């Protein structure tokens, strides 16, 4: 942690204001590795409040954070201040590229790679947009954002959801359905990013809103697809059916001070999924109650998640989609496959083994398609499943008790031969181990709408007659037999001729006729 650096314009102690650590709201802004940007392009605060800003540099280059007064005539994203910094020339590094300008409200020093620095900021009393920028030469065009000072109203004091799976054209009868999942939403902002689902689901939200004083309040609602808002059990805004979110509806309502129950019903058919809810009152401007912000509104809520999900990839037209890049928890030769029913996997072409399975949304390509494209991308969905630790899935064992080969950079005796795509672009991975050639494919089964996603894994093996027995490590974990196969805490696997060796489920592959096929079925378990 570097030294605390406070601007005299904003230091509460110098202004005679009380400063208590418990009163500070902490906002962390990071610089993702290789992306030349701040991970939050917008932060919001109320006039006169206090912020503890933590600036964390995750990049391989030094950066700073400079908060600016806005120009009176036009927004400039802090570029005018950055140009003054560049004019410092040889003095730039000594002054941490901070120009002597009344526009500078607060700043860090030049924060080296993988270090961080903190600021305590007294937010200006005047509402408006205050730009922040990295003034290191050449960075400001991409590394900029804004602190929006808004007079905001209360948010929900509590927020819970019930998630339902199904294919509807209008809002369903929620009372007749059994929730797939339910729980509290900790940040108390409406979100439809639940379990990575992108279609065929519905959500019922129940919340409590604290009305600060008697008066007239306006509620705003937009959704893709249908939604319905209820206040105190009474219908306020109804916008059912399949439609985009470009129609922002509003309704005024007289409310008494105190707690009021709020219910919002929402469903998503296909296509985009969006939901915006906000309210305004006599003493505050339009205040979002949702994470997603309608494009026509000027005051977005803070949404760190929006900085990390920007270019989602998805299968289409009944075909699989393949993504070859750096994937979390697999080798640099990971091959991710998204199937059209919501089953996804990553195949490790160094180990010739599946490294990860998941359900729902496939993957977000923003990390690799913007900036310098560095880092590993995590799956975008839910119910991540690892059936075995990293390492080869096939091996010749000298003895039945011989230990399974350890993971190496590239599995010994295994050679990747590429993959073939069928008519649906489903890949069949081809590789060789010793004298055995293998064609490995996956077939997705079930649907997210019915909560029964599973898949089969098939290995077609060709070998010279009399080749030694090959073993497939089908799964690893605290497995136990049941009438249909083998069960672990997070999955179930069915495989003919499988046997348990400690926590390893092995399938022997013999070649008396020169070829053999093994088919395994995997299910996620609740």
Residues 276 and 321 in one domain: no
pLDDT at 442 over 50: yes
The sign of the dihedral angle between the CA atoms of 38, 39, 43, 49 is negative
In a domain, 346, yes or no: yes
* pLDDT: which is higher, 73 or 78: 78
Residue 352: left if φ>0, alpha if ψ -120 to 50, beta else—which one?
left
SS3 label, residue 165? strand
Residues 50 and 132 in one domain: yes
Q: Please provide the distance, in angstroms rounded to a whole number, between the alpha carbons at the two ends of the chain.
A: 42
Pairing assessment for the beta strands 66-68 and 25-31 based on DSSP bridges: unpaired
Give the mean pLDDT of 150-171.
91
Average pLDDT along the chain: 86
pLDDT at 425 over 80: yes
Contact 3/116 with Cβ under 8 angstroms? no
Residues 168 and 123 in one domain: no
Residues 279 and 409 in one domain: no
Rg of the chain over all Cα atoms, to the nearest angstrom? 28
Beta strands in 154-273 (DSSP E): 156-165, 181-184, 201-211, 215-224, 227-231, 234-239, 249-255, 258-268
CB atoms within 10 A of CB 369: 12
Residue 193: Cβ-neighbour burial (10 angstroms; 0-12, 13-18, 19+): middle
Percent of the chain with pLDDT over 90: 56
Is residue 213 very low, low, confident or very high in pLDDT (cuts 50, 70, 90)? Answer: very high
pLDDT of residue 49: 87
Give the mean pLDDT of 50-59.
91
Q: Which CATH number characterizes residue 37's domain?
A: 2.60.40.420
pLDDT of residue 307: 36
The sign of the dihedral angle between the CA atoms of 386, 391, 394, 397 is negative
pLDDT of residue 4: 36
* pLDDT: which is higher, 3 or 446: 446
Least confident of 78-87, 304-313, 329-338, 406-415: 304-313
In a domain, 493, yes or no: yes
Contact 35/9 with Cβ under 8 angstroms? no
pLDDT digits (tens, 9 = 90+) for 474-504: 999 999 999 999 999 889 999 999 999 999 9
In a domain, 12, yes or no: no
pLDDT at 418 over 90: yes
pLDDT at 9 over 80: no
pLDDT of residue 478: 95
d(CA 32, CA 374): 9
For residue 204, what are the contacts with CB-CB under 8 A and spacing of at least 6? 161, 162, 164, 174, 263, 264, 265, 266
In a domain, 37, yes or no: yes
pLDDT at 84 over 80: yes
Is residue 451 very low, low, confident or very high in pLDDT (cuts 50, 70, 90)? Answer: low
pLDDT of residue 26: 87
d(CA 443, CA 382): 19
Tell me the CA distances in angstroms from 48 to 98, 100, 107, 125, 307, one per residue in order.
25, 25, 18, 5, 26
pLDDT at 344 over 90: yes
Single out the residue in 257, 279, 303 at which a domain terminates: 303
Residues 182 and 130 in one domain: no
In a domain, 308, yes or no: no
Residues 335 and 477 in one domain: yes
Least confident of 50-54, 145-149, 294-298: 294-298
Q: Which CATH number characterizes residue 268's domain?
A: 2.60.120.1560
pLDDT of residue 479: 95
Residues 181 and 50 in one domain: no
Please, where are the H alpha helices in 20-164? 79-86
Residues 255 and 324 in one domain: no
Contact 201/163 with Cβ under 8 angstroms? yes
Least confident of 329-338, 448-457, 517-526: 448-457
pLDDT of residue 306: 37
Percent of the chain with pLDDT over 70: 91
pLDDT of residue 2: 37
In a domain, 235, yes or no: yes
Residues 299 and 240 in one domain: yes
Which of 406, 344, 425 lies closest to 377, judged by CA?
A: 344
For residue 102, give its domain range: 21-149
For residue 379, what are the contacts with CB-CB under 8 A and spacing of at least 6? 327, 328, 336, 344, 346, 356, 358, 361, 362, 363
In a domain, 177, yes or no: yes
In a domain, 3, yes or no: no
Domain count of the chain? 3
pLDDT digits (tens, 9 = 90+) for 222-262: 999 999 999 999 999 999 999 988 889 999 999 999 999 99
Single out the residue in 252, 281, 303 at which a domain terminates: 303
pLDDT at 146 over 80: yes
pLDDT at 436 over 50: yes
Tell me the CA distances in angstroms from 235 to 68, 168, 191, 496, 506, one per residue in order.
45, 21, 21, 57, 59
Is residue 393 very low, low, confident or very high in pLDDT (cuts 50, 70, 90)? Answer: very high
Residue with token string 């799964």: 475
Cis peptide leading into residue 96 (ω within 30°):
no
Is residue 15 very low, low, confident or very high in pLDDT (cuts 50, 70, 90)? Answer: very low
């Amino acid at each position: 942690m570097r030294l605390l650096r406070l601007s005299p314009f904003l230091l509460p102690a110098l202004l005679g204001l009380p400063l208590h650590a418990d009163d500070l709201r902490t906002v962390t802004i990071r610089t993702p590795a290789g992306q030349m940007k701040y991970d939050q392009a917008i932060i919001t605060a109320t006039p006169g409040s206090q912020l503890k800003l933590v600036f964390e540099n995750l990049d391989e280059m030094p950066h700073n954070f400079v908060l600016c007064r806005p120009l009176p005539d036009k927004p400039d994203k802090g570029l005018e201040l950055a140009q003054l910094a560049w004019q410092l020339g040889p003095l730039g590094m000594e002054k941490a590229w901070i120009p002597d300008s009344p526009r500078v409200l607060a700043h860090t020093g030049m924060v080296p790679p993988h270090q961080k620095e903190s600021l305590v900021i007294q937010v200006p009393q005047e509402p408006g947009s205050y730009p922040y920028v990295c003034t290191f030469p050449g960075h400001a065009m991409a590394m900029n954002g804004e602190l929006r000072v808004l007079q905001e109203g209360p948010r929900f004091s509590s927020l819970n959801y019930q998630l339902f799976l199904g294919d509807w054209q209008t809002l369903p009868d929620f009372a007749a359905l059994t929730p797939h999942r339910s729980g509290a939403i900790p940040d108390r902002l409406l979100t439809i990013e639940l379990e990575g689902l992108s279609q065929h689901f519905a959500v019922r939200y129940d919340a409590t809103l604290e009305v600060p004083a008697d008066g007239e309040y306006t509620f705003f609602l937009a959704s893709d697809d249908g939604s319905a808002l209820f206040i105190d059990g009474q219908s306020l805004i109804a916008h059912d059916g399949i439609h985009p979110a470009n129609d922002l509806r509003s309704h005024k309502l007289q409310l008494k001070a105190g707690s009021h129950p709020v219910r919002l019903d929402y469903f998503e058919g296909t296509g985009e999924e969006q939901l915006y809810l906000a309210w305004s009152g006599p003493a505050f401007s339009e205040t979002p109650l949702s994470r997603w912000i309608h494009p026509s509104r000027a005051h977005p809520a803070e949404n760190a998640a929006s900085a990390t999900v920007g270019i989602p990839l998805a299968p289409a037209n009944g075909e699989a989609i393949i993504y070859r890049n750096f994937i979390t928890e697999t080798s640099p030769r990971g091959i991710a496959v998204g199937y059209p029913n919501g089953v996804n996997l990553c195949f490790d072409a160094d180990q010739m083994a599946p490294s990860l399975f998941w359900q729902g949304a496939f993957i977000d390509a923003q990390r690799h398609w913007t900036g310098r494209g560095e880092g590993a991308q995590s799956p975008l969905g839910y119910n991540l499943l690892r059936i075995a630790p990293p390492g080869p899935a096939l091996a010749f064992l000298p003895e039945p008790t011989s230990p399974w080969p350890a993971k190496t950079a590239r599995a010994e005796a295994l050679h990747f031969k590429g993959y073939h795509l069928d008519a649906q672009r489903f890949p069949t991975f081809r590789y060789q181990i010793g004298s055995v050639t293998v064609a490995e494919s996956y077939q997705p089964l079930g649907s997210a709408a019915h909560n029964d996603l599973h898949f089969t894994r098939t290995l077609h093996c060709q070998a010279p007659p009399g080749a030694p027995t090959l073993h497939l490590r089908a799964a690893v974990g605290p497995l136990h037999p049941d009438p249909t196969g083998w069960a672990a805490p997070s999955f179930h696997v069915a495989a003919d001729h499988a046997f348990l060796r400690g926590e390893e489920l092995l399938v022997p592959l013999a070649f008396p006729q020169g070829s053999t096929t093994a088919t395994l079925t995997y299910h996620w378990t609740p």
